[in-house]
Structures are given as structure tokens and as C-alpha cells.
Amino acid sequence: MTNYRTSMQIISDLLSATNDSGQEGIKTTRLLTKANLSHSRLSKILDTLTGSGLVNKIEFDGKNTIVITEKGRQYLESYLKFSSIAESFGLEL
């Protein structure tokens, strides 16, 4: 049986990949690969994350670089803690 990721897990994957890339940020193509998403799905989610202030999108020479914000780091840390607690009780998020 295939286990599909929830939208929260996808957001966590995106924020983790962005956070791992450091202050230089991550290019859209690399993020697509790391998060295993289609371009259209990634675009929609990035619009939501940008609107929420969790990431910043920087455009330079027609290429986008995604950088996590402090608010995004706090969100990711809280999500990972909560996920760990839920998992210890046998729950899936």
C-alpha cells in the first residue's frame, strides 16, 4: 500500500530542504527534486508559504531562490517536536 504525504508533511519537507540549504537559499529546481513535487504543486505551496511569511522568494536573473525565514524555522521546529510527540503515542500526522 502506498503511503501518501499529508500537506503538513510536504510543507515540513519543503521547509527542511530550504533550512538545510542555509542562508544562500535553494533554487526552485533543486527544491522540486528534494521535495519530490511537480512544478505546479510546488508553485501553489510556495505561494502559501511566502504569503504566510515562512519563506522568502528572491528572483535574480529570472531564477528564483527560496530562503527560509526565522518564522519558518520556528514553525518547522514546532512541527517536528509535535510530530515526534504524536509518534510516541502511535499517532500519524
Can you list the domains of the chain with their CATH numbers?
7-84 (1.10.10.10)
Q: Of the candidates 17, 6, 91, which has an alpha carbon nearest to the alpha carbon of residue 54?
A: 17
CA 36-6-67 angle, to 5 degrees, is 55
Please determine, for residue 52, whether its predicted confidence score (pLDDT) is greater than 90: yes
16 SS3 class:
helix
Please determine, for residue 92, whether its predicted confidence score (pLDDT) is greater than 90: no
CA 51, CA 32: separation in Å to the nearest integer?
A: 19
CA 38, CA 46: separation in Å to the nearest integer?
A: 12
pTM over 0.85: yes
Q: What is the pLDDT of residue 1?
A: 60
Please determine, for residue 70, whether its predicted confidence score (pLDDT) is greater than 70: yes
One-letter identity of residue 25: G
Q: CA-based diameter of the chain, in Å?
A: 48
